[in-house]
Structure 1
Amino acid sequence: MDIGTDALHASASPSHPRSATPRRGIIAIIAAVVAAALLLLITPLPRGFQGEPTGDATLVSEVENVLGSKHWHHVSAAKIDGDDVTWGGVGADENTEFEIGSITKTFTAALFADAINRGEIDEDTRLGDVWPDLDGDVAEVTLASTAMQRSGLPRLGPVVSFRDGLANLLSGYLHTDPYRGTAADLIDSLQDVDVGEKEPKYSNFAFGLLGQALATVTGSTYGDLVRDRITEPLGMASTYVPESPEGLSHGYTASGLSAAPWTMGGMSPAGAIRSTTHDLSIWLKATADGTAPGAKAAAPRENFDESDRIGWAWLTTTDRSPNLTWHNGGTGGYGSYLGFDAKTRQGVIVLADSAIGVDDAADLISSDSPEAYRAQYPGARAGDGL
């Protein structure tokens, strides 16, 4: 509309053929400069972690070196060597609470393995067995396939209403929780899902369904299952599934802006747990030594991609020295990584309240160089899956 009006005005003013265009150009340039200046004012520059260092200074230095200078705020890390745990952080310590994002999936997978052990379900239990009203291909999807990220379900489920679709769209601009639907909404959305090929494909939707299927089978809620079957038995007092964002700490976007907490509604089994490096060190050690409820979920079962095999949620590298069993996480305001090698009994945890990947934390206990891999496994090739 504006383009057409401007063109008409130019053709109707032959006595000033050049004055309007330069003036508009200057105004546009000034507007662009002002907008850029305002953006710079509200967007912090990349920087190192903020706040006072805590814990072990050497570990803090190692973490800062591997993660580099980005739009960081605070970080908490733990390095495990057998029974020994070293803590370190900046602006946070081992008891500071963070969103752990998709590391939540390791808890959901453990609940799945534990439910099998209790005889409540088996690996071949289908979504249609849990919710008998389902029909078609989606009813035939097994819980094991959702746990192993090869269910054929999409990465994200269908939008359940116009309001939720609008909220999801705006969340990217307002930095709010994009997951608004309830557990009932999630289950109802299965009626509109097309099932694709049963090949490795990461799906938050599948893990949301897995957790809610376990809640349905046990007559509980996902949050209660996490508490009753994992965190209370292991003494993880600071790990929980939030029911409301009220009173929760918030993180920051990858560009350094404030981001609202995520509680994720019915999708909470895919990524809503909040925890600390202290509690996750308990989780890591108990999973690594097989004493955690559902610890067998970590055992690799199938190839996932060129460099990882997958168990139930947990991934295991095939090209590092040593190879690590791991999972990472990311929400609108947080990044997380947890990995361990059961043979060496080493592990690492890094939690940050910035929506930036912290996967490089793996380098604190493992190398991805081909030379290091061949030195550990003489005659082997990276990718052999040792």
Structure 2
Amino acid sequence: MRRRDVLGLLAGAALPCPRPARASQALLDESVGFAGQILFLTTKTPALVLGVVHDGQTSIQGFGRRADNPNEAPGADTLFRIGSITKAFTGQVLANLAADGVVSLADPLTKYAPEFIAPMSEGGRPIRLIDLATHSAGLPREVPHEAGPPANPFVNITTDAFAAWLKANPLMFTPGTSVSYSNFGFDLLAAALARAAHQPYPDLLEARVLRPLGLADTVFAPSAGQAGRIMPGHDFDGSPLPNARTGSVIVGSGGLYSTPRDLLAWLQWHLDRFGSERAAERLIDHAAYLWRDGLNAVVGMDESGHMDAMGLGWVIMAPDGDRPLILQKAGGLQGVFSYVAFAPARGIGVCAAINAFDVGAGLAMAKTANDLIMELAPR
């Protein structure tokens, strides 16, 4: 960006717009542009994309270089790994199947996947689907495994290893009594939902969520055409990371790609809280199932904002001062940090991504998104 443009942003210059609708869009563009530019200048990541949907209007703005060649900023149709935001999609599949009566939230995991029994659990209570979806099943973040090669880093994460771990190890706590972040749990959940619906999980997600909502660029395996729009990630040392294939196991916890356009369309569906179509699914998906008050411990949930309650993959932040209630989820995979958040009572949602494993920048990105919600739609 040219120096005079940066100075103009910092000066907060106002643009006159005579009509209310145009003024609203201009304010949205100004706010997203200012927040994104400041975040980009302070974090110095190779690229950043920031998008907001507010009362049906959208603004998506990119900064830096999506890739070395072509030399262009990321935009609405830039594809990137969304990492653990995948978990919120898995939670929605659970909500969809529960609304249709295919599963119950309280069903035990072993009803659908009997090999995933935990006989050494000291709590004496089976792991339920709701425990998996709220990170409260007593499972570790990952099942120990050997690192795979750079081009296929997830190859040694297997369902056989999942079953073996459950048979040989006690749970960390009685399900439902604490919360501890677990990729392992969401991959078990995806496997159980696939069994319940008699479909491979990628097909189930496509049929139940992606296709009905028109999310054509939200995929596990990008096509040749989509691959040309990918924003590659960078490791902690700044070296580029390959777009490694997702495989068939981590589909519940972190395997998806998406675009700002798709993510904002998805958030717009979530914001239609009084819509009649798929209303039961949305109500189930947005409910708070575990409140922090009363839990024995909460581990690994507060990095992108203080967790007050858990939904189906969503971290729920209670209203605080001018900030409204927010449902949010962060992700990180293959050198990309991403974040989505929305305030259902205020009609606003935000998505953001940076293409570098920079922890400080990732935390700043989440704070910027949460602050944008507070500034544009205060409580």
Q: Does 1:142 align with 2:155?
A: no
Q: 1:347 aligns with which of 338, 346, 349?
A: 349
Q: 1:298 aligns with which of 277, 282, 286?
A: 286
Aligned residue type for 1:214:
L
Q: Does 1:73 align with 2:73?
A: no
How far apart are 1:180 and its partner, in Å? 3.3
The 3 A distance-change label for structure 1 pair 234 and 318 is same
The residue matched to 1:119 in structure 2 has which SS?
A: coil
Q: What TM-score results when the alignment is normalised by the length of structure 1? A: 0.71
Aligned residue type for 1:150:
S
Distance 2:153 2:30 in 1: 35
Higher helix fraction (1 or 2): 1
The 3 A distance-change label for structure 1 pair 278 and 243 is closer
The residue matched to 1:89 in structure 2 has which SS?
A: strand
The 3 A distance-change label for structure 1 pair 363 and 175 is farther
Q: 1:211 aligns with which of 182, 190, 206?
A: 190
The 3 A distance-change label for structure 1 pair 214 and 72 is same
1:92 maps to what in 2? 74
Is residue 300–residue 315 contact of structure 1 (8 Å, CA) maintained in 2? no
The residue matched to 2:43 in structure 1 has which SS?
A: coil
Q: 1:363 aligns with which of 350, 356, 371?
A: 371
Alignment of structure 1 residues 230-309 onto 2, 5 Å? 230-242=209-221, 249=230, 250-265=232-247, 266-290=249-273, 294-295=281-282, 296-304=284-292, 307-309=307-309
Q: 2:86 aligns with which of 104, 111, 116?
A: 104
Q: Does 1:225 align with 2:204?
A: yes
Aligned residue type for 2:337:
G
Is residue 175–residue 253 contact of structure 1 (8 Å, CA) maintained in 2? no
The 3 A distance-change label for structure 1 pair 166 and 81 is closer
How far apart are 1:235 and its partner, in Å? 0.7
Q: What TM-score results when the alignment is normalised by the length of structure 2? A: 0.72
How far apart are 1:82 and its partner, in Å? 0.6
Alignment of structure 1 residues 326-341 onto 2, 5 Å? 326-341=328-343
Is residue 341–residue 347 contact of structure 1 (8 Å, CA) maintained in 2? yes
Deviations 1:318-357 (A, max 9, x none): 2541231111111131011111111110111112222231
CA RMSD of aligned residues (A): 2.9
Please, which moves more after superposition, 267-276 or 132-141? Answer: 132-141
Deviations 1:258-293 (A, max 9, x none): 012344431221011100010011111111224585
Is residue 241–residue 272 contact of structure 1 (8 Å, CA) maintained in 2? yes
How far apart are 1:216 and its partner, in Å? 1.6
Q: 2:55 aligns with which of 70, 78, 82?
A: 82
Q: Does 1:151 align with 2:137?
A: yes
Is residue 338–residue 348 contact of structure 1 (8 Å, CA) maintained in 2? yes
Is residue 112–residue 192 contact of structure 2 (8 Å, CA) maintained in 1? yes
Q: 2:171 aligns with which of 179, 192, 195?
A: 195
Is residue 335–residue 354 contact of structure 1 (8 Å, CA) maintained in 2? yes
The 3 A distance-change label for structure 1 pair 240 and 258 is same
Distance 1:256 1:366 in 2: 32
Unpaired segments ≥5 residues, structure 1: 1-54, 160-164, 377-386
1:43 maps to what in 2? none
Higher relative CO (Cα under 8 Å, sequence separation at least 6) belongs to: 2
Distance 1:166 1:97 in 2: 26
Distance 2:244 2:223 in 1: 9
Unpaired segments ≥5 residues, structure 2: 1-27, 64-72, 293-297, 299-305
